[in-house]
Amino acid sequence: MNEAMETEFGLMAAWTADAVREIGSRHAIPAACRGSAGPAMLRWLARECRLRANTLMVDVGGGLGGPAAFAQREYGVRALVLEPMPEASREARVLLGVPGWTARGDALPLADRSADAAWCLGVLCTTPDRTALLAEIARVLKPGARLGVLVFTADVPRPRGAPEGNDFPQEAELPGLLGDQGLEMVSTIAGDLLHDRQEGEWRQLADEVEARVRQRHRGDRRLDAALEQERRIGRLLKDGVVRPVLISAERRTDQNR
């Protein structure tokens, strides 16, 4: 991971958690879903992954733990955040109350066929080795278990103005990428087709936290670097150059893929 991404996913996670502690815990889940899914997308993923009480759900590249905490609160799952940035996995535990372990997606500290469901949200475009990541997820899922993915796609890997370190897959290549690892695509939908009446409230709660972070760390060049990353992806999404896609995929039941 390059410096800009470490700042965006590590330091910003710690600063966000500090701001939530100052403002109030109502802000925690929306602020900790930074840069990824809102309630409509999370509900679609939860339905597709058949989340229910006591499902062991692993969130790979789970960041600060916002999506996992949402699944824990709304569906009663046993969530586990696996995230390479130590600041983020720590705050998933401390701030969001979700077990969070520091781990890379291509070396998950879980036994074969141990998880009932997995999420991987906004991660596939941030790592160069998507194959290794998906192979690990397939390894830890029980046969028949589902993976929910949010992936940012584009027509070319690095459109002009892309955030540093990002490399976007094309939508058409996703069924093959998943299928090669024994993950059969079940369903897919364009993320921006979904809406939930909580969406506006979430955005406001998250924006208030970001405003506090900006105020606290004004003048720090690392803040400028992280915000520039966010500005770039925001612009590409707004222009439709980068498009969010949701996918559910099922771990094939045959033993060797």
Ligand X SMILES: C[S@@+](CC[C@H](N)C(=O)[O-])C[C@H]1O[C@@H](n2cnc3c(N)ncnc32)[C@H](O)[C@@H]1O
The yes or no reply on residue 85 touching ligand X (CB under 6 A) is yes
Phi, then psi, of 183 in degrees rounded to 5: -115, 105
Taking CB under 6 A as the criterion, the residue among 61, 163, 182, 191 binding ligand X is: 61
DSSP 71-84: HHHHH--EEEEEES
- Whole-angstrom CA distances from 122 to 43, 169, 235 are 16, 12, 16
Q: Is 13 or 254 the residue whose CB approaches ligand X more closely?
A: 13
Helix (H) or strand (E) run with residue 15 in it: helix 12-23
Look up residue 113 and give its amino acid: R
Taking CB under 6 A as the criterion, the residue among 7, 16, 55, 126 binding ligand X is: 126
Task: Report the candidate in 39, 106, 34, 103 with the shortest Cα–Cα distance to residue 64.
Answer: 34
The yes or no reply on residue 148 touching ligand X (CB under 6 A) is no
- Least Cβ distance, residue 95 to ligand X (angstroms): 13
The yes or no reply on residue 83 touching ligand X (CB under 6 A) is yes
Taking CB under 6 A as the criterion, the residue among 17, 20, 29, 33 binding ligand X is: 33
Q: Is 144 or 178 the residue whose CB approaches ligand X more closely?
A: 178
DSSP one-letter code for 29: H
The yes or no reply on residue 122 touching ligand X (CB under 6 A) is yes
**Binding footprint of ligand X on the chain (CB under 6 A):** 9, 33-37, 60-63, 66-67, 83-85, 88, 104-106, 121-123, 126-127, 133
